[in-house]
Amino acid sequence: MNKSTTQNKVGFRPRGVIPAVITPLTPEGKFNAKAMRKLINYLIDGGVHGLFVVGTTGEFYGLSYEEKREIFQVVMDETRQRVPVYAGTNGITTRESVELTQLAEQCGVDAVSVLTPMFISPSQEQLITHYTTIAQNTSLPVLLYNNPPKTGVNLAAATVAKLAAVLNIVSIKDSSGDLTLTTEYIRLTRDRDDFNVLVGRDTLIYGALCYGAAGSIAACANVAPRLCADIYDKFIAGDREGSLNAQFTLAPLRIAFTIGTFPAVIKESLSLLGIEAGPCMEPVGPMTPEERVKLRQVLIGMGLLK
């Protein structure tokens, strides 16, 4: 199926702080819909500007097609259009990403985010073809997703500038951690009103906003939604000092990701806050008692725990 991209939601502009939402699991490793509904309300009540599900933080790599369908449906039902919902439709092949994107569209999501292929090493021209084909097969807005530390594949700035010309490719999430690359994305697309840049490294939200980014898709927003949202809200309101203070307060949590195997720190943090998250997908196991002590001290230092 090759849909016309003229069906794009005109004017859809990703913005603000959008949590890269975890996938709550039962002790048996199954999707926990009840816990997801509670988490959605915790995040929205915390002031976030959207929800991004089934991404890297959401352990997309361990979910079946039908599990992804269920997650999309539960999230759409509980969100009730209070904020936009972004769905991760990541695949190694173009065919897989197209199928997942069409599944997400059937479930009524507002936009999709597509990670570069992993394991294989496509050229920049092949990446352009990959993303253009995905965009041509959906009427949804499409966000590019660059995360070379995880995939080993990097979207060059010139490649993103070319893809920004595709009608329903509306944004990029850059999790490279390379602020120079992020700012190059911004510089090369700043003359386009229909494309913007989101940062995916939680320690760089304030810096990226200063350069003209539209916000962030942030894993830490699962744990501290109000604090993350404050970085954006205060910046937009002109309170640069308040925004920077919020960024500095958040930094220790992102830096603490190295205490455990990703995304264990996020799920363990939620558990310490009394929010059900469940285990990570094996082989990622729970944090050790010593690691939990370190994490608890981080949360206490941030004022999230007493």
Q: Active-site residue 145, yes or no?
A: yes
- 3-class state of residue 32 by DSSP: coil
Is there a catalytic annotation at residue 38? Answer: no
**Of residues 173, 185, 206, 267, which has the active-site annotation?**
173
What is the maximum alpha-carbon separation in the chain?
Answer: 54
**Cα–chain center distance at 165:** 22
**Binding residue per annotation — 217?**
yes
Task: Specify the 3-state DSSP secondary structure of 89.
Answer: coil
Alpha-carbon Rg for the chain, nearest whole angstrom, is: 18
Which parts of the chain are beta strand (E)? 16-19, 51-53, 85-88, 111-115, 142-146, 169-174, 196-199, 215-218
Catalytic residue (one of 145, 185, 206, 232)? 145
Q: Is 56 annotated as a binding residue?
A: no
Cβ neighbourhood burial of 193 (10 Å; 0-12, 13-18, 19+): exposed
Residues tagged active-site: 145, 173
Binding site residue list: 57, 217
Binding site residue list for pyruvate: 57, 217
